[in-house]
Amino acid sequence: MTQRATFRADINALRALAVAMVALYHFDVPGFELGFIGVDIFFVVSGYLMTQILLGRIDTATFSLLDFYVARARRIVPALLFLCLVLLGLGWFLLMPSDYANLGKQAAASSTFISNIVYWRENSYFAEASNYKWLLHTWSLSIEWQFYLIYPLVLAGMVRLGLKRAAIVELMWLAFLASLALCLYSSNANPKADFFLLPTRGWELLAGGLAYVHGPGARWSRWGSYPRFQQAGFALILLSLVVAHEQQWPNATALVPVIGTLLVVLGGDPPSRLTRNRVVMAIGLWSYSIYLWHWPVRVGLRFADLGDNALASGIGLLVSVGLGYLSYRFIEQPAQRILARSVAWRPIVALSAPALGLLAVGVTIWDADGVSWRMPPAVNIADAATLDLNPYRKECLADSTGGHTLGGCVIGQGQPIRAVVWGDSHADAVVTAVADSLDGRGGVQFFGLSNCPSALGTGNRPGLDCTGFNNKVVQRLEKSDPGVPLFIVNRLEHYLRPDEDEAPQRSSAANGAPAFDDPILTKFAATACRIAAKRPVFVLRPIPDPGFNVPRRVAGEAMWTDKPADPSFRRQDYDREFRAVNMALDAIQRSCGVIALDAVSPFCAEGTCRLAQDGRPFFYDDDHLNEFGNNLLVPAFRSAILDTERRRGKAPTPGTPPAAPALPAVVQ
């Protein structure tokens, strides 16, 4: 479609706008917080062009399924494979084993165009962990390729069955409406699937196809050139930067950028300085390669702890455009020229052989756990911290796929239940420390749901039945042994309003609970105080949040020095960052007897707080304690439980405290 006879400047401008919006969003440029909608534009454009190619060749009896797939592969595969090979090569020298293993899995999934399915089974696209996935952006290429595999078969099959064009169009409308309905339903019911999978994204591609069969280029169309359509379309796309909703995308508001894109396409490519100036023309032509390279550049900045550096982000944007141009000039164009001159079987071999090779390499790296022997022992010790997780995590911590159920796992030695832990993923990170504090006498009942505050009345979060889960937990707590202490562990600061610098007590509500400016804090206080009226309640103060991935920082320093690194932070920085939450917990403690447990002093001495010991991190990421780190909280939990039981006259005979956990095995 880039040959001069068929080139449409308006579609090229849509590509330029789409890649610009996505790149500016990923580099955190103000005003483009919702720039991810650029992918929706790409989908509509792809659907339009694919339908044009397919129906055009079917109408002229020149359609070949093999030729179609080869043409698509020539366009997509060479630059993608080159990117994956470059990343795997650099990763060999620069990535610690767990990150390199993940890169291997991502490269294998990208080379087979199933990466969207892989990412769907992991984190949300908008989750913090997703910011460190080098090939996350290939999810959209996988959706397009899956569409390319299915769509021509269906169209060719309908033609082979003798269906008239009108019947084909009606079936396209039916498929479009079914996919749109599924998308709107899934935006709340299963937002991860809604974002990553073809059935809930297909309507955007089909929308482009419908624009072709009804608009300019359709054989019965009388459409001409409509500049007003183009102007209105671009205006709608820009408007969508305001109306989109990040965490539940795509939803009903996705119709805004889709309709805007359709209007531009239906405008018929009128002469316009907006679409035909040199900058837009160049960015549009380079858009695929820019899209491929900009995300790894962004991830690289995050790995270098420069993700929040505005200057580094600006340079990263320029580097992305430069790499996009080089990829277009020296990979995309030469590959298409060379492969276009070959007979059909040669491009198949030339593209499938390296793709299969990349698949084999990626799977091997993944299966070998990132080839740990590449790195010095100090790096592997730091890397092992990322896997030092709660061994009960999979069966006990509910997530977006199981949030509607009540787990209620028992951790430790079983009966009697001597403590209950309720909370989010931060509770999962410390619950084994509570179990260890029992010294082998009894168990801990655990109720955990990721990303939900332990408070009644806060409503649901995307894909999470927080309301149902919390209601069931409180019902269980009010029916069970009232003497057993409850430990509530939440990342409270994560749920507060962004502008909440302080949490002053404003009034007193039921059960003596304080009320705050922030509604989450008010409901959290009311819930904790309600339970405290019937059983001892302890709330863990905020766990230190270093602001960077601790194992990666330790491993990065060890990679260059081959020595253990022990990063630290200042206690005064912790006190300032968590002032609002700690003020609120102080107010709750004064009001209704809920006891706030110190979560930072065990890490600190003389104003400096440790994040690792002898090169072994206390965290498995940037804010969750691992099993080695949570051991520092065992004395506080033990003291709280024993004090409660002594007051009830049920304290067991003190035993020998558990030994500190041994270092995990590493490959030397």
- Average confidence (pLDDT) per 10 residues, the chain, 668 residues: 63 97 96 94 96 88 86 93 97 95 97 96 87 96 96 92 92 97 91 94 97 71 69 93 79 94 89 88 97 98 91 97 97 90 74 92 96 93 94 81 59 87 95 94 92 87 80 90 92 76 61 84 93 94 90 90 81 90 92 93 89 94 95 96 84 47 33
3-class SS at 449?
A: strand
Which residue from 351, 332, 356 is spatially nearest to 70, judged by alpha carbons?
351
Q: Which amino acid is at 526?
A: A
**Whole-number pLDDT of residue 659:** 40
pTM assigned to the model: 0.87
**Whole-number pLDDT of residue 653:** 52
**Whole-number pLDDT of residue 497:** 67
d(CA 296, CA 289): 12
d(CA 542, CA 496): 13
Cβ atoms of residues 542 and 609 within 8 Å: no
**Whole-number pLDDT of residue 401:** 46
Give the pairing type, strands 443-449 and 616-617. Answer: unpaired
Cβ atoms of residues 98 and 92 within 8 Å: no
Q: In whole angstroms, what separates CA 381 from the centre of its chain?
A: 26
d(CA 372, CA 99): 11
Distance set, CA 474 to CA 44, 289, 457, 478, 534 (Å): 47, 53, 12, 6, 11
d(CA 514, CA 496): 16
Q: How many CA atoms lie within 13 A of 411 on its CB side?
A: 31
d(CA 280, CA 263): 19
- Compute the CA torsion angle 68, 348, 339, 333 (nearest 10 deg): 80
Ordered alpha helix ranges (H), 533-650:
550-561, 571-577, 579-592, 627-630, 634-648
Cis peptide before 416 (omega within 30 of 0): yes
d(CA 230, CA 226): 7
Q: In whole angstroms, what separates CA 203 from the centre of its chain?
A: 23
Longest dimension (CA), the chain: 90
Cβ atoms of residues 515 and 527 within 8 Å: no
